[in-house]
Amino acid sequence: MVKLLIVFGTRPEAIKMCPLVKEFRRRGRMEVRVCVTGQHREMLDQVLGLFEVVPDYDLQIMQKGQTLYDVTTRVLCGMKEVLEDCRPDLVFVHGDTTTAFASSLASLYQQIPVAHVEAGLRTNNIYSPFPEEYNRQAIGLVARYHFSPTRRAADNLLREGKPAEHIFVTGNTVIDAMQTTVRPDYDSEITRWAKDSRLLMMTAHRRENLGEPMRGMFRAIRRVAEEYPDVKVLYPVHPNPAVRRVASEVLGGCGRIRLIEPLDPFDFHNLMNHAYLILSDSGGVQEEAPALGKPVLVMRDTTERPEGVEAGTLELVGTREEPIYRACRSLLDDPEKYQRMSRAQNPYGDGRASQRIADIIERDFL
């Protein structure tokens, strides 16, 4: 039987790969093995629990405050053993994390073909996002299958000279995941807390924003929370100690700001759906918000997801305090602008990306 090894290690990869694991398993025509690197721990386990996926291998590499060197070497060496034990016919990696990069390199070293899910996103600025832009370009060099979420991402790969017959536009598997999480009748303690207020959801974790940029981002949000009595801010804080420190220093002790532990994707997606406005430097949030029709102020200087900007849902506001503060105020004060940004549009497909990927692999391997 053809054997597939599906590898991931962080929260966003898990959210976007679990639908694929389930699709292959539902079909039952190939042997599916799941390897988690454990680049994330609690945040990864939350997603595995929600989607009821039990890994066959777990490299358990996470260390508090890990560096890029730690993650790269531990995944690379760990994957050597897993590949030798599993002997897969094809390895699936996702997106742009160091787990995905090092796993694709480990596969190359054993000349095992790689399928890259969410292929072709580019800023073409190697330091933004860092090191993700490098990671995804490097995976692109190794991959045999490039599964692109949009036509634009596929075109990026064609421009780089990748063979057209190895590039497939499938939609993004995050939409597959959202079809199982978003419920119109969702209710929770947090929705009750935010009742009668405008809820601002935020996330922030990018490595290139750690330190002063993040401090500026948080100061902008604190000013908004203090100036608008009808605004409440919910921030599930990334467990990175460098994020936590600044978050509690700048955002702590304000009654209308709640700093909470990371939410599982069920709660997070539904609270996004409930929110008035989202502030984020996350990649995945930029894909989910357009589907929900929620305006996002993207706290970054570049984005590899221009589809959401074109759809009108995303606005790039950089990482400096004053522009973020002003952009936030303008969305809170200008109902017409808010309405313009709130139209639900979905550039990321119809929720059948996993089915398309499985169809292509079955066509080639069965």
Asked if residue 204 binds ligand UD1 (CB under 6 A), the reply is: no
Q: Which of 13, 23, 58, 118 is catalytic?
A: 118
- Single out the residue of 309, 349, 354 nearest to residue 150, CA to CA: 349
Asked if residue 12 binds ligand UDP (CB under 6 A), the reply is: yes
Quote the tokens at residue 234: 């919910």
Does residue 96 have an active-site annotation? Answer: yes
Q: Per CB under 6 A, which region of 25-33, 223-231, 261-269, 350-358 contacts ligand UDP?
A: 261-269
Distances (CA, A) of 63 to 9, 29, 109, 118: 13, 37, 25, 27
Does residue 132 have an active-site annotation? Answer: yes
Q: Which of 207, 244, 245, 340 is catalytic?
A: 207
Does residue 205 have an active-site annotation? Answer: yes
Instruction: List the one residue from 288, 304, 307, 321 that touches ligand UDP (CB under 6 A).
Output: 288
Q: Per CB under 6 A, which region of 53-61, 103-111, 277-285, 299-307 contacts ligand UDP?
A: 277-285
Give the HSE-up count for residue 148: Cα atoms under 13 Å, Cβ half-sphere: 22
What mask, x for binding ligand UD1 by CB under 6 A, covers residues 92 to 111? ----xxx-------------
Q: What is the DSSP letter of 171?
A: -
Degrees to nearest 5, angle at CA 237 with 235 and 242: 135
114-143: contacts with ligand UD1 (CB under 6 A): 131-132
| Residue 203: contacted member of ligand UDP, ligand UD1, none (CB under 5 to 8 Å, by partner type) | ligand UDP
CB under 8 Å to 139, separation ≥6 — which residues? Answer: 93, 96, 100, 101, 104, 114, 116, 119
Cα distance between residue 90 and residue 293, in whole Å = 37
Instruction: List the one residue from 12, 78, 236, 290 that touches ligand UD1 (CB under 6 A).
Output: 12
228-257: contacts with ligand UD1 (CB under 6 A): 239-241
Considering the complex, what minimum distance in angstroms separates the CB of residue 269 from ligand UDP? 6
Considering the complex, what minimum distance in angstroms separates the CB of residue 129 from ligand UD1? 7
Provide, for the chain, the percentages of residues in helix, strand and coil under a 3-state DSSP scheme, each rounded to the nearest 5: 50, 15, 35
Cα distance between residue 351 and residue 244, in whole Å = 34
Does residue 13 have an active-site annotation? Answer: no
Amino acid at 24: F
- Determine if residue 228 is left, alpha or beta; phi over 0 gives left, psi from -120 to 50 gives alpha, anything else beta: beta
Q: Which residue is nearest to ligand UDP (CB)?
A: 282
Active site residues: 96, 118, 132, 205, 207, 238
- Interaction site with ligand UD1 (CB under 6 A): 10-12, 39-44, 62-66, 68, 71, 96-98, 131-132, 205, 207, 239-241, 283
